[in-house]
Chains A and B, each alone.
Chain A
Amino acid sequence: MKKISFTFLILGLLALIVGAIFGTLAGIQYIKPDFLKEVIAFNKMRPFHVSTVIGWIILCATGGIYYYLTNVLNLKLFSKKLAGAHLILFILSAVAIYVSFATGKMGGREYFAYAPLISVPILIGWILFGINYFKTVPKQVKGWPVYLWMWGTGIAFMIYHIGETNLWMIPYFRENFIRDITVQWKSYGSLAGCWNMLVYGTAIFLMSKIKNDDNVGRGRKTFFFYFLGLFNLMLGWAHHTYIIPNQPWIRILSYGASMTEWIIFISIIIDWKKSLSAEKKELNSMSYKFLMATDFWVFFNLIIALLISIPYINLFTHGTHITVAHSMGTTIGINTTILLASLFYIVNKEGKELLDKYRKIIKLGFWFFNISLGVFLICLLLGGVEKSIWMYFTDEPSSFGQMQDKIQPYMYVFLAAGFGLLAGILMVAVPMLNVLMKKSK
């Protein structure tokens, strides 16, 4: 079973590296549109980047869950064959997605730009994962800690919402543009909630193991936050669609749901203060360091998320680079740091002596990653403010091209930070890839 987990993790790390390279190339195209235009124009480069980095999150979270269930919690997996079939289906889907982009046979939906048929093997893969999970865990664990609930919830809702992303193929949805675009973004908001369940569950699992304290995953407060996350997964999606002319009650409900996240925010501040003294004790653990980085990025991103969930602010920030800062901040700052922490935990357990050789370069990569990400997000926020002024506060707005020229200085720094981010990822990911590949032989 370890081999299957490792293959998921190795493919995840490869997806992170390749996705970051595609992202950097797309960044160059954003500033110099003629760059590689005849080879891979931006309308293909962007989906290559987006799909690959989503692949990183899914593959790494999945590989981690398989590993933790069988190697740390020591559960007997219901079926290794199902896990193998799950892996094969995901590999075949990844190949099919790349072929779809390379040949231009695209479905052209945001985040799901590949040919729609490819959703079928992906969906079957998730169903197999779900069968394996729910046939394994309930029989062998009584009184689930919260991370087991989160992983189970993430898998179950993922199956539903992947189906929901394809509702546009039914004429009832497709023939009504407002219904189509609302349901499309409902499914995306909830899908992000699903993978957050998988990734945040992993974070809680890691915290309980690093602190060697099973209570981290239990208790009323922990489960309260789980239900709050679930509530937001189901209802909080509509801040993506405040501006779409659907029924106002959808937006009111979402506004209310999103504001409950202030509770999480306040709790983070209190817990962070408490954890300050404990931090020093664990300073040498890269896994712990990445989790501390997550703490910081959660704080930063939650402020942005909460602000843009207020309709009055959303009116001016929606459709600007501030929204991109929010999505990239959460996927890179939160999801990626948690998943890297998860990988460090596994690699340390499996081949600490091999990883020790790279300790200096990894530490350097850690700082490259975090500092570059900070600059990267600040540039996006500044670019977003300029675009918002252009959209709402200019009597005679200049052309779109002139507005783009105006924000270009920020975008040059954004690109430089993107190179820094890529360098940081390479310094952290390549050593882990080396160790995992040696250990999987």
Chain B
Amino acid sequence: MISLVIMFVIYNTVVYTQGTSNETPKMSEQAIKGEQLYQENNCTACHQFYGLGGYLGPDLTNVISQKNKGPAYVKAFLNSGIKTMPKFNFTEEEKDALTQFLTEVDQTGYYPNKDAETSASGWVGIKYKNR
């Protein structure tokens, strides 16, 4: 039992450090504020990052770099209250923070990962953005 606990501790430590290490720079203060707003308004109920979250709205991983979208597109949507979106009342400063958060998420990778390499073993080598 003790050896199992020791293995579990080592495994978790490696996941928290090396396993989740990546080339992405630390999120800026403004982006963290944007993430806080994203959470306080429970945007994850409808939206996804990397396909994880709700299904009523689109995935937002690459909404900033996507063709015909970008920061202005995102800002226009935020307080519109159209269709499925609730009508939010974000200030300009809050809109900037949310957009910055989405911009920094966009820099971490691709979703959907259309250029992933597949092999006959069933394995998939995903394409990294910042390598």
Contacts and interface: CB of A to CB of B under 8 A. Distances in A.
Contacts of A244: 50, 109
B124 A314 contact: yes
Given A43-B42, A106-B40, A234-B8, A392 B56 contact: no
A242 B125 CA distance: 10
Contacts of B122: 255, 310-313
A312 B18 CA distance: 25
Interface string A213-253: 00000000000000000000011000011111111111010
A319 B19 contact: no
A29 B83 CA distance: 11
Interface in B23-62: 24, 26-27, 32, 35, 38-46, 48-59
A401 B83 contact: yes
Contact of A177 (B16, B83, B105): B105
Given A175-B26, A234-B11, A250-B15, A245 B108 contact: yes
Contact of A249 (B19, B35, B43): B19
Contacts of B3: none
B54 A247 contact: no
B112 to A, nearest CB: 5
A47 B26 contact: no
B49 A181 contact: yes
B15 A43 contact: no
A181 B52 contact: yes
B11 to A, nearest CB: 7
Dominant secondary structure of chain A at its interface with chain B: helix
Contacts of A105: 40
Contacts of A37: 86
Contacts of A42: 45-46, 54, 56, 84, 86
A32 B51 CA distance: 23
Interface string B106-130: 0011111110101100111110110
A183 B52 contact: no
A89 B41 CA distance: 26
B27 A319 contact: no
Contact of B18 (A247, A315, A320, A321): A247
Contacts of A311: 122-124
Nearest to B83: A33
A105 B13 CA distance: 32
Contacts of A312: 118-119, 122-124
A429 interface: no
A370 to B, nearest CB: 25
Contacts of B22: 176, 178-179, 245-247
Interface stretch (A91-99, A107-115, A199-207): A107-115
15 contacts: A37-B86, A46-B45, A47-B45, A107-B39, A108-B39, A108-B41, A110-B54, A175-B27, A178-B108, A182-B20, A183-B15, A242-B124, A250-B19, A315-B116, A324-B55
Interface of A: 29-30, 33, 37, 41-47, 104-110, 113, 167, 173-179, 181-183, 185-186, 234-235, 240-250, 252, 255, 310-315, 318-321, 323-324, 391-392, 400-401
Given A43-B86, A108-B40, A182-B15, 11 more contacts: A108-B39, A174-B35, A176-B20, A179-B20, A242-B126, A244-B109, A246-B22, A312-B123, A315-B116, A319-B48, A319-B112
